[in-house]
Amino acid sequence: MMALTPSLEDYLEAIWVIGQKKRVVRIKDIVKHLGVKAASVIGAMKILADRGLVVHERYGYVDLTDKGVGIARNIYHRHKVLTKFFHEILGVDLGIATKDACKIEHYIDKKTLERIVKFIEFIETSPDGEPLWLSHFYHFLKTGRRPESCGKRWGSGGKMKQITTLNKLKVGQKGRVVKILTSEVKRRLLDMGIVPGAEIKIEKTAPLGDPVDILVKGYHLSLRKEEASAITIEVIE
């Protein structure tokens, strides 16, 4: 079957949504729901009927076929997931989240949508309620600043561990690599032995912080400032 246009998908979704609230769906219901003209709806119903997705009765009633139901439910599912992600997770205004979801739902890949669903489930099933990092994100949205507790994690014995980037360490300080943030320099750094878990000591920094001389696994290396800033480390006291 020829791919449906975003507009035709909107019509199928509208019929499904209206049908969940009313016993029958009429052309005027679709007109009101989508804010379009009756002529546009009638034209779309003819196309969808020709493709075996709807049945348009003589007196204006519209019903989805089994095939149409399957497609409409899938579109509606994408819409709900995206709206929930934008509004409840990212904190976007509900009206904007709904409009954006309506636009994106027609193009998002199935695998991408599955990842978003899993991400939402991961957050909602957190045994400790809302994850701390998500609370930090909401604080950042409101204030433009990270909360004081952000960038720290609990270590053994309940002691807080400082998380920062390598370029912020002072000469003589040590840190353990947590992750490398920038993919552009990741391969070069990995080849140099800068991998998660590796211990790094700052030996010397240039006046403007570029380059940064470090000691890792017994080797003396020199990093550009942008490379050092891409390395997240756990400060070793």
Q: Stretch 37-60: mean pLDDT, rounded?
A: 90
Per-residue pLDDT band at 57 (split at 50, 70, 90): confident
Give the domain CATH number at 49: 1.10.10.10
> pLDDT-derived band of residue 153, with 50, 70 and 90 as boundaries?
low
Write the CATH number for 231: 2.30.30.90
Q: What is the pLDDT of residues 60-71, one digit of tens each?
A: 789 999 999 999
Do 94 and 186 lie in one domain? The reply is no
Q: How many domains does the chain have?
A: 2
Distance between alpha carbon 94 and the CA centroid of its chain, in Å?
16
Residue 230 has pLDDT above 70, yes or no: yes
| In-domain check, residue 123 | no
What tens digit of pLDDT does each residue of 72-127 get? Answer: 999 999 999 999 999 988 989 999 999 999 999 999 998 999 999 999 888 888 76
The pLDDT, as a whole number, for residue 104 is 93
Domain-terminating residue out of 78, 108, 138 = 108
- Average per-residue pLDDT in the chain? 86
Are 54 and 65 in contact by the 8 Å Cβ rule? The answer is yes
- Rounded Cα–Cα distance for residues 51 and 95 (Å): 32
φ, ψ (nearest 5 deg) of residue 107: -120, -15
Percent of the chain beyond pLDDT 90? 43
Convert 150-175 into a string of H (helix), E (strand) and C (coil). Answer: CCEEECHHHCEEEEEEHHHCCCCCEE
- Residue 82 in contact with residue 100, Cβ under 8 Å? yes
For the whole model, what pTM was predicted?
Answer: 0.60
Residues of the domain holding 226: 152-236
Q: What is the pLDDT of residues 156-173, one digit of tens each?
A: 555 556 888 888 888 989
Tell me what pLDDT residue 206 has. 84
In a domain, 116, yes or no: no
Average pLDDT for residues 19-30, to the nearest whole number?
A: 92
* Angle, helix 66-84 to helix 6-19, in steps of 10 degrees: 90
pLDDT tier for residue 8 given thresholds of 50, 70 and 90: very high
Could you tell me which residues come within 8 angstroms of residue 98 by beta carbon, excluding any fewer than 6 positions away? 83, 87
3-class SS at 177?
strand
